[in-house]
């Protein structure tokens, strides 16, 4: 069932991540989230069939067609994850800082070019391409633009889970030779860098007043999650009453005498 794996891995009373709800309508959004967890990586997500199809890209996407980025397919995420930015608390799956690195829309491209050029395709074609392991699509984001392909790797290496894909930029007007993703360490949502999101620099006050926040709490589910976490934290911070100490001074005097 859709989002079951996403739900199984998370404790929603402890994390500000959105609940596992499948959307009825697909709006073809995409998102890239920079995620400083056990290992720094970028989460690449495409909205299709009411969920976000997701891949973890260790080196991040590139606009250089010469770069073939490894992309590990992971569990589907809810569409409401498309604007998530903030901190996943320690002890939770994926604990660490999350930056909303890029957002926009995507469009499947027909696997059959016309006059040597790729043309817009359909969701049905996208499903077939995903099943085949060769998805072609076009991005219109704030940072990423143009045609891309996700190609599933066929060779099974020792220890492989069979979820390895390659994310490759196509040659077009948006291609950029020598693309350096490290030059773009700023959130498209809040304009903060990773250190600021983690609370390591100027966001110490922001983090302490809203430990699981991601800017304005627009969604009711997020406000509720933060309220639960604040309540739990407040309860844990209340000092326990010390047990009354018995006066043993009289006993000590008796022992001395």
| Residue 225: per-residue pLDDT | 43
Q: What is the mean pLDDT of residues 193-212?
A: 56
Q: Measuring CA to CA, how many Å separate 20 from each of 4, 81, 178?
A: 8, 9, 38
Full domain range(s) for residue 110: 20-229
- 251 located within any domain: no
Cα gap 169→105, rounded to integer Å: 16
Query: What is the band of 226 on the pLDDT scale with cuts at 50, 70, 90?
Result: very low
- 14 located within any domain: no
Q: What is the pLDDT of residues 150-159, one digit of tens each?
A: 999 987 666 6
Query: What is the band of 234 on the pLDDT scale with cuts at 50, 70, 90?
Result: low
Q: Which pair of tokens denotes residue 92?
A: 């939770």
Cα gap 70→164, rounded to integer Å: 7
Mean pLDDT of the chain: 83
Cα gap 15→134, rounded to integer Å: 34
Overall number of domains in the chain: 1
Q: What is the mean pLDDT of residues 143-155?
A: 94
| Residue 115: per-residue pLDDT | 86
Do 12 and 80 touch, CB atoms closer than 8 A?
no
Residue 202 has pLDDT above 50, yes or no: no
Q: What is the pLDDT of residues 94-137, one digit of tens each?
A: 999 999 999 999 999 999 888 888 899 999 999 999 999 999 99
| Residue 215: per-residue pLDDT | 38
- 241 located within any domain: no
Which of 90, 58, 52 minimizes the C-alpha distance to 71? Answer: 58
What predicted TM-score, i.e. pTM, was given to this entire model? 0.76
Which of 92, 67, 70, 73 minimizes the C-alpha distance to 176? Answer: 67
Cα gap 221→229, rounded to integer Å: 12
- 128 located within any domain: yes
- 113 located within any domain: yes
Cα gap 105→113, rounded to integer Å: 21
């Amino acid at each position: 069932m859709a989002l079951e794996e996403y739900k199984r891995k998370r404790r929603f009373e402890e994390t500000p991540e959105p609940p596992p709800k499948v959307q009825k309508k697909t709006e073809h959004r995409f998102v890239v989230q920079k995620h400083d967890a056990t290992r720094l990586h970028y989460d690449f997500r495409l909205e299709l069939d009411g969920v976000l199809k997701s891949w973890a890209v260790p080196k991040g996407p590139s606009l250089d067609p010469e770069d073939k980025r490894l992309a590990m397919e992971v569990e589907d995420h809810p569409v409401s994850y498309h604007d998530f930015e903030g901190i996943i608390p320690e002890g939770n799956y994926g604990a660490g800082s999350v930056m909303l690195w890029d957002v926009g829309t995507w469009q499947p491209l027909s696997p059959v070019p016309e006059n040597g050029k790729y043309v817009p395709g359909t969701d049905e074609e996208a499903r077939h391409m995903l099943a085949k392991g060769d998805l072609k699509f076009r991005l219109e984001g704030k940072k990423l633009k143009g045609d891309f392909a996700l190609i599933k790797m066929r060779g099974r290496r020792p220890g492989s889970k069979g979820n390895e894909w390659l994310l490759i930029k196509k040659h077009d007007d948006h291609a950029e030779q020598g693309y350096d993703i490290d030059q773009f360490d700023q959130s498209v949502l809040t304009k903060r860098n990773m250190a600021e999101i983690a609370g390591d620099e100027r966001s110490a006050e922001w983090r302490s007043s809203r430990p699981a926040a991601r800017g304005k709490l627009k969604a009711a589910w997020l406000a509720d999650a933060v309220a639960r976490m604040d309540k739990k934290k407040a309860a844990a911070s209340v000092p326990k009453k010390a047990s009354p100490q018995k006066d043993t001074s009289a006993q000590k005097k008796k022992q001395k005498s």
